[in-house]
Amino acid sequence: MAERSGAGTVRDLDRVLADLRALSEDIESCAVLSGDRDLIFSSHEPGVDRERVGAMLAALVYLSERVARESGKGNISQLRIDAGGGHLLVVQLDGGGVLAATTGQEARVGLVLYDMRNSRGEVEKALAERGDQ
Amino acid sequence: MKKLLRGLFLLGALAGAVYAARGYLQGRSPAKETVQIVFDDGSVRSLDSNTTQGQEFTDIARKLVETGL
């Protein structure tokens, strides 16, 4: 079940992310965070605290940016966390937003990241049309 | 007395076997938690979850993987 924030339609974003999930069956859930750290799209199950998911995802982005600063690097382009029971994958979007996904432990993570990177342009386009970038 | 000693010996052997089996099974559990960050210049930084910095990432990620995004 997809949930959205904000008024206007996000049909394009829904379609892009539905295509991504259909293409990459290892993806269990996905979300899009805007450059302002607002949760634009989330595929979470009903009952999960939406605000909490957005805040945790924003915290991860903040931590990544902190590591980038401490390492003397610019921006991050990709984050992969192997977290016990599964993987959390994050791909940076233009404008500071991120596309995130979770997978199971046995997922083909490289392939999922490849598909996420390929969908990045479409997600950016949908966000730009919505005025979130 | 002899019976008691034999009982204690068997009990000790059983406890040792359980301990060894537990260690063997724990040794096999994979699930190593790691963090890999790729920067826009193509360089990569890896963090192990046994570091403070790595643990910050894995603690949040574990919850997100459990609940879904």
Average pLDDT per block of 10 residues along chain A, 133 residues long: 48 89 95 91 75 92 94 93 94 94 96 96 88 62
A82: which DSSP letter? Answer: E
Contact between B49 and B34 under an 8 Å Cβ cutoff? The reply is yes
Interface test with B, best of A3, A82, A94, A112 (most B CBs within 10 A): A82
Is A77 within 8 Å of B67 when comparing Cβ atoms?
Answer: no
- A90: contact with B, CB 8 A cutoff: no
Q: What span, in angstroms and rounded, lies between the C-alpha atoms of A46 and B22?
A: 38
Q: Which domain holds residue A75?
A: 3-130
What is the count of structural domains for chain A? 1
Chain A CB contacts of B54 under 8 Å are none
Among the partner residues A67, A76, A77, nearest to B53 by beta-carbon distance = A67
pLDDT tens-place string over residues B21-62: 665 565 555 557 899 999 999 999 999 988 999 999 999 999
Looking at per-residue confidence, does B64 or A48 come out higher?
B64
Contact state of A31 with B69 under an 8 Å Cβ cutoff: yes
A43 and B69 in contact by Cβ < 8 A?
Answer: yes
Output the pTM of the full model: 0.79
Q: Spell out which residues of chain A touch residue B51, defining contact as CB-CB under 8 Å.
A: none
Residue from the list B34, B43, B60 with its beta carbon closest to the beta carbon of A73 = B43
How high is the pLDDT of residue B4? Answer: 75
Q: Which sign does the torsion angle of CA A14, A64, A27, A23 carry?
A: positive
At A12 the pLDDT is: 85
Alpha carbons A74 and A105: distance in angstroms, whole number: 30
Whichever domain contains A122, its CATH number is: 3.30.450.30
Nearest CA-CA distance, residue A119 and chain B, Å: 18
CB contact under 8 A, B64 and A64: no
- What's residue A8's pLDDT? 43
Cβ–Cβ contact B68 with A under 8 A? yes
Is B32 in Cβ contact with A60 (below 8 Å)?
Answer: no
The tally of CA atoms less than 13 A away on the side-chain side of residue A107 is 29
Smallest Cα–Cα separation from A30: which of A108, A103, A133? A103
Rg (CA), chain B: 22
